[in-house]
Amino acid sequence: MPLARALIGKILVRELPTGELLTGRIVETEAYTLGDPSSHAFRGPTQRNASMFKRHLHAYVYFIYGSAFCLNISSEAEGTGAAVLIRAVEPLTGIETMRTLRGPTIKDRDLARGPGRLCAAFAITKSQDTLDLETDQTLWLATETTKKFAIGTSPRIGLSQEQSRPHRFYLKSSPHLSGPRTLSP
DNA sequence: CAGAGGATCGGCT
DNA sequence: GCCGATCCTCTGG
């Protein structure tokens, strides 16, 4: 859970096969911790969720509702199944390429607002599953040294249970957040 | 092997 | 705000 908060404000960097860099500031995350019934890792390791059991800072990418990929970052030690879902980023560079990936008429604020849209905008699919973000050359995290951010918390989005836990973190006053407005004060 | 459900999105009301 | 699409993954028989 500390990782979910720590990731707010970090920069997600993606290098495409063309060599172009896409970057965005992480503005919204959700923690899926050990023993959480709504976590994909709750029932133990399977072929799909294996990446959640890797050492921290490995990518876990899964396909959902027949239409979207979601990017998570493993958050605990090797053998512990836990991860942070990246729900939204603020696009910084490569915006025109993101628009070609998402649609020519999409507004900047909607390019990567929502976990599925984020993956589409950054060309992230199942082939990025299991990547080590500490060493990989196509997907990694960067830090803006001087910045500080006001961070809010709320219940997570889209769950049928566990709605009481405030495991969602977001950059306050960001216009790039996903979910109902009532959750993004 | 069949069935059910999901950490979503986009379109329509 | 609500609803349906769409398909991967897991579970049970």
Q: What are phi and psi of A132, to 5 degrees?
A: -95, 110
Per-residue pLDDT tens digits of chain A, which is 185 residues long: 799 999 999 999 999 999 999 999 999 999 999 999 899 999 999 999 999 999 999 999 999 999 999 999 999 999 999 999 999 999 999 999 999 999 988 999 999 999 999 999 999 999 999 999 999 999 999 998 777 889 999 989 988 666 677 899 999 989 999 975 444 44
- The answer to whether the C-beta of A167 is closer than 7 A to strand B is no
Question: For residue A182, what pLDDT is reported?
Answer: 40
Beta bridge partners of A83: A32, A74
DSSP A55: S
Chain B nucleotides reached by a protein CB under 7 Å: 6-10
A40 Cβ within 7 A of any nucleic strand B atom: yes
**Model pTM score:** 0.93
User: Quick check: A69 CB within 7 A of strand B?
Assistant: no
Q: What is the DSSP letter of A10?
A: P
Q: Are A81 and A49 in contact (CB under 8 A)?
A: yes
Degrees, nearest 5: CA angle A153-A23-A122: 90
Give the pLDDT of residue A163.
Answer: 67
Q: pLDDT at position A183, please?
A: 43
Q: Smallest Cα–C1' distance to nucleotide C1: which residue has it?
A: A180
In angstroms, how far is B6 C1' from A94 CA? 31
The DSSP symbol for A15 reads: E
Residue A161: Cβ within 10 Å count: 9
Residue A66 CB lies within 7 Å of the nucleic strand B: yes
Q: C-alpha distances in angstroms, A99 versus A82, A108, A140, A145, A147?
A: 32, 8, 21, 28, 27
- Measuring from the CA of residue A52 to each C1', which nucleotide is nearest? B7
- The 3-class secondary structure across A94-110, one letter per residue, is CHHHHHHHHCCCCCHHH
